């Protein structure tokens, strides 16, 4: 049975101490430790950039930069392998600082042997794997909380924070901002005739088409039911209308394959830009896009309309 291989980078400027660590790991035959040694933190960064390591053994006293400072820098720079710190003398303060700075373990060099070091490495790797899995699950839960389950675009919960953020940014920096409101035409009738399963397929196809027709910086949201919203940072009125026309045309051209045939799908779109709404709050932007959408519906559906003039105030 093949032994597990663990690639270890030892950062140690003392030749004698480096040799001791090498012998310790060599004695532990249950794992194949592939050990590489460098003398400084600068060399360590160079090797880590060239080769992925499973774990770092880091000496506290190093030329140019001590191990604690380097450890803090590693944690700031991003996702790095687990670190066990070694020092030539025991000090509770240094041990606490090392652990608080991100070390997985800390040992005075005169307090370890082959078994202790191998066990510490095993525990550090296990804790590191569990930490990464926990982070992955947390990120997945956060993603699910802001994602529409059916269409895989953002949901209304995310829209609230995204539109508020973009409105604030557009006001502060005097940037363009556009908002599209998209509604599938006659969707209730469509569901009654073809069934909700086909309706779900239509919603997923429409969401995918919208996403393909807009920029990566734009935010596609399922607003509810058969309605979608697109938030378009730094999009002028002409750019927003062009994107809306592209969405409208693409959806109408595709249709939806059902059995041996295809059925028509169309959308109506209302577009609102920051130039239409001087207040530019999430509520006014959505209301503006909704008025334009209703105008598109009144005029016959399957079309795009910009913000219509506001009704004149009563005298």
Residue 247 lies in a domain: yes
Share of the chain above pLDDT 90, in %: 61
* Residue closest to 221 by CA, chosen among 165, 268, 180: 180
128 and 169 fall within a common domain: no
Residues 36 and 78 in one domain: yes
pLDDT at 313 over 60: no
In a domain, 269, yes or no: yes
Domain assignment of residue 312, yes or no: no
Confidence band (pLDDT; 50, 70, 90) for 310?
low
Is there a domain that residue 315 lies in? no
Residue 61 sits in a domain of what CATH number? Answer: 3.40.50.2300
Distance, CA of 118 to CA of 275 (rounded, Å): 66
Catalytic residue among 226, 234, 253, 277: 226
Active site residue 245: no
- Residue 300, pLDDT > 60, answer yes
86-108 in b/e form (b: 16+ CB < 10 A) is: bbeeeeeebbebbeebbbbbbbe
- The verdict on residue 293 lying in a domain is yes
Residues 6+ apart with CB under 8 A from 287: none
Quote the domain boundaries for residue 270: 156-306
121 and 187 both lie in a single domain: no
- The yes-or-no verdict on residue 315 having pLDDT over 70 is no
Considering 185-189, 209-213, 255-259, the range whose residues carry the highest mean pLDDT is 209-213
Give the number of other Cβ atoms within 10 Å of residue 279's Cβ: 11
Please indicate, yes or no, whether residues 129 and 185 belong to a single structural domain of this protein: no
Domain identity same for 186 and 129: no
> If DSSP states are collapsed to H, E and C, what string results for 186-255?
CHHHHHHHHCHHHHHHHHHHHHHHHHHHCCCCCEEEEEECCEEEEEEECCCHHHHHHHHHHHHHHHHHHC
Question: How confident is residue 149, by pLDDT bands cut at 50, 70 and 90?
Answer: very high
30-83 pLDDT, tens digit each? 889 999 999 999 999 999 999 999 999 999 888 888 888 888 888 766 678 999
Q: Give this prediction's pTM.
A: 0.68
Domain count, the chain: 2
**pLDDT of 85 higher than 80:** yes
Spacing of C-alpha 97 from chain mean position: 31
CATH number of domain containing 205? 3.30.70.270
162 pLDDT higher than 80: yes
Which residues on neighbouring strands pair with residue 7, listed in sequence order?
34
Indicate whether 91 and 40 sit together in one domain: yes
- Same domain membership, residue 182 and residue 74: no
**pLDDT given at position 90:** 66
Q: Which one has a higher pLDDT value, 6 or 280? A: 6
pLDDT mean over 279-302: 93
In this structure, are 23 and 116 located in the same domain? yes
Question: Residue 266: is it exposed, middle or buried by C-beta count within 10 angstroms (0-12/13-18/19+)?
Answer: middle
pLDDT at 1 exceeding the cut of 60: no
């Amino acid at each position: 049975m093949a032994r597990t291989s663990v690639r270890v980078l030892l950062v140690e400027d003392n030749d004698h101490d480096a040799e001791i660590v090498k012998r310790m790991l060599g004695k532990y035959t249950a794992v194949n430790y592939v050990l590489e040694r460098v003398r400084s933190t600068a060399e360590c960064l160079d090797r880590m950039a060239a080769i992925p390591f499973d774990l770092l053994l880091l000496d506290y006293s190093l030329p140019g930069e001590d191990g604690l400072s380097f450890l803090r820098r590693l944690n700031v720079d991003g996702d790095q392998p687990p670190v066990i710190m070694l020092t030539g003398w025991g000090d509770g303060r240094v041990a606490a600082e090392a652990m608080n700075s991100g070390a997985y373990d800390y040992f005075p060099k005169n307090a370890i042997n082959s078994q202790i070091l191998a066990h510490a490495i095993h525990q550090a790797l296990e804790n590191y794997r569990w930490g990464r899995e926990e982070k992955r699950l947390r990120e997945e839960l956060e993603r699910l909380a802001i994602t529409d389950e059916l269409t895989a675009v953002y949901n209304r919960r995310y829209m609230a924070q995204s539109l508020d953020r973009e409105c604030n940014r557009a006001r502060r920096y005097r940037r363009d901002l556009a908002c599209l409101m998209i509604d599938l035409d006659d969707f209730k009738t469509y569901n009654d005739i073809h069934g909700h399963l086909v309706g779900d397929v239509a919603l997923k196809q429409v969401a995918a088409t919208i996403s393909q027709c807009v920029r990566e910086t734009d935010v596609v949201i399922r607003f509810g039911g058969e309605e979608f919203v697109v938030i378009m940072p730094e999009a002028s009125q002409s750019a927003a209308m062009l994107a809306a026309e592209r969405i409208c045309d693409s959806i109408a051209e595709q249709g939806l394959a059902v059995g041996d045939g295809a059925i028509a799908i169309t959308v109506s779109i209302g577009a609102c830009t920051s130039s239409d709404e001087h207040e530019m709050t999430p509520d006014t932007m959505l209301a503006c896009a909704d008025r334009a959408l209703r105008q598109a519906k009144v005029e016959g559906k399957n079309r795009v309309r910009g913000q219509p003039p506001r009704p004149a105030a009563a005298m």
